[in-house]
Amino acid sequence: MHFSKTKHSKFNESGQLSAFYLFSCIWGIFILVSENYISDPTILWRSYPPNLMTFQVKFFYISQLAYWFHTFPELYFQKTKKEDIPRQLVYIGLYLFHIAGAYLLNLNRLGLVLLVPHYFVEFLFHISRLFYFTDEKYQKGFSLWAVLFVLGRLLTLILSVLTVGFGLARAENQKLDFSTGNFNVLGVRIAVLASICITQAFMMWKFINFQLRRWREHSTFQTPTVKKKPTVTKGRSRKGTENGVNGTLTSNGADSPRNRKEKSS
């Protein structure tokens, strides 16, 4: 496959991120099952703040932060184009902001539940882009990703409002305490919900622009080019054809009767 520099860079990016998203998604599902987060959803806000964070949950968050921090020097070592750096800095910063916020505010349960479906959707996107680079006719993966992307945004908003807006708002202990790690106060809850809603709105805006660009490219590719037929005058068409035939014969060395008479004289 002979890629341009831009496609080669995106191909490498999708290959690396798809492997990371798949590994993190499987690891996160294993933690959700082992910690009984799926069987008992009320554990997301019950007994906040948690008295003890298990080793596998803490190691998961440290690994996530380490990966996204390492992408900053990687932009230099991979010689990323200057026009691509702002885009990558934005989504790297969003990952670090939300993962670190969930870790520091003791919302690790909610953060883990939200990361798993998000990583699965992102994994599907990058796998679809890898297939698209090998065969540009492949579009089925993007269609499935588009549906799951919208469902993932709705799931994120529902779980966030249910946990922060209703579950933690009804908790008895709503006093700021740094020693115990209790940040269940009104200001923090509003900030958490606002950051999540703004991020989801930003992602939907980027998603809509991406879909519109793909729709324009697809419609442009499908539009047939209409060729205009040359207009020829009926009275001169036969004469012009005969002249063309006679000219061709003459140029090929064919003698007319007049030429034969001149030659015999």
SS3 assignment, position 181: coil
Domain boundaries, the chain: 5-222
Could you read off the pLDDT of 89-124 as tens digits, one per residue? 999 999 999 999 999 999 999 999 999 999 999 999
CA 78 to mean position of chain CA atoms: 20
Helices (H), 106-184: 108-134, 140-160
Residue from 233, 256, 20 nearest 125 by CA? 20
Could you read off the pLDDT of 77-86 as tens digits, one per residue? 887 888 888 9
Give the Cα separation of 77 and 71 in Å (integer).
10
**What is the residue-level pLDDT of the chain in tens, covering all 265 positions?**
677 777 777 888 889 999 999 999 999 999 999 988 888 888 888 888 888 889 999 999 999 999 999 999 988 888 788 888 898 999 999 999 999 999 999 999 999 999 999 999 999 999 999 988 887 777 788 889 999 999 999 999 999 999 999 999 988 888 898 888 899 999 999 999 999 999 999 999 999 998 888 788 777 766 655 555 555 555 544 444 444 434 444 444 444 444 444 444 4
* CA distance to 16, 70, 99, 208, 265, per residue, from 67 (Å): 12, 5, 11, 28, 99
Give the Cα separation of 126 and 19 in Å (integer).
9
Which pTM was predicted?
0.79
Contact 108, 3 (CB under 8 A): no
